[in-house]
Amino acid sequence: MTGWVCPACHGDLGGDVDGAERCAGCGRRWGRRDGFLDYVDEAQVRGTDRWMRVVYHHLAPLHDPLLAGTFRVVLGERLSDARATILQRLGAQPGERVLEVGTGTGRNALGLASAGVDYVGVDLAPGMLRIARRRLARAGRSDVPLALADAHALPFRDQSFDRVLHVGAVNSFRDPERALAELARVARPGAALVLVDEQLADNADLVTRVAFRASTFYATSPCVAPGRLPGATITSVEQLSAFFYLLRASTPDM
């Protein structure tokens, strides 16, 4: 049971005649897009979130080969190795409920669902979710729940997940502190949170520095790991590669 709630007020949702959902609390109606439940308040999607969504939506078919090429050509590393490290640090166990905010093309979704994890994935870009849906369907996992949602207003009750994963958008969130607080809000007491995004290694060479600046052209402030995560305690930050950090945090035990 996924247990979606209204992202505006966290009220209960009821089915409507056309497959949309209406909140019993505030009356807000949430529809569908491309076959996905759509919990995005378009009026709130502003700044970098708005145009980054356009980029990811339209370039979704090129996302995986471009990212794999960057790892291989610029970093001299394999994307699959980085992904394996991320999932190892997440440490999800069979039966645990895991939320990935920023499902992307579904590679983590497939890996976690195949390992027996109760996976739920959300993303802001419909194009990315389409590819994730196809990937899961080819593997016989059309049952994995996916939806359109904004990291700044997640459609879940407080303390819903054993682990929370996010890769790739902290530096471009329109309000990073609010989004990070949302990740912690939906995590159960003692839950693990894993965040991955761009941060340049101190020992990066000139070519890597130029490539990093080109790939983070959208950033108006330095791309570095957050110094705090509202609602959770940061336990470690490591340089995952020349381009990326991996941050682990946990919510307080009750």
Q: Could you tell me the residue ranges of all domains in the chain? A: 31-250
Predicted confidence pLDDT, tens digits, the chain (254 residues): 567 999 999 999 987 756 789 999 999 999 999 999 999 999 999 988 998 999 999 999 988 888 888 787 777 778 888 899 999 999 999 999 999 999 999 999 999 999 999 999 999 999 999 999 999 999 999 999 999 999 999 999 999 999 999 999 999 899 999 999 999 999 999 999 999 999 999 999 998 899 888 888 888 788 999 999 999 999 999 999 899 999 999 999 87
Q: Residue 114: its pLDDT value, please?
A: 95
Q: Residue 224: its pLDDT value, please?
A: 94
Q: Residue 229: its pLDDT value, please?
A: 96
Q: Residue 221: its pLDDT value, please?
A: 81
Full-model pTM: 0.94
Strands in the chain per DSSP E: 13-15, 21-23, 29-30, 32-33, 36-38, 97-101, 118-123, 146-148, 161-167, 187-198, 233-239, 244-250
CA pair distance 62, 241, nearest whole angstrom: 22
Q: Residue 178: its pLDDT value, please?
A: 96
Q: Residue 17: its pLDDT value, please?
A: 58
The residues, any chain, with a CB within 8 Å of residue 163's CB and separated by 6 or more, are: 90, 91, 92, 96, 97, 98, 99, 187, 191, 192, 193, 194
Answer whether CATH 3.40.50.10310 is correct for domain 31-250: no
Q: Residue 196: its pLDDT value, please?
A: 97
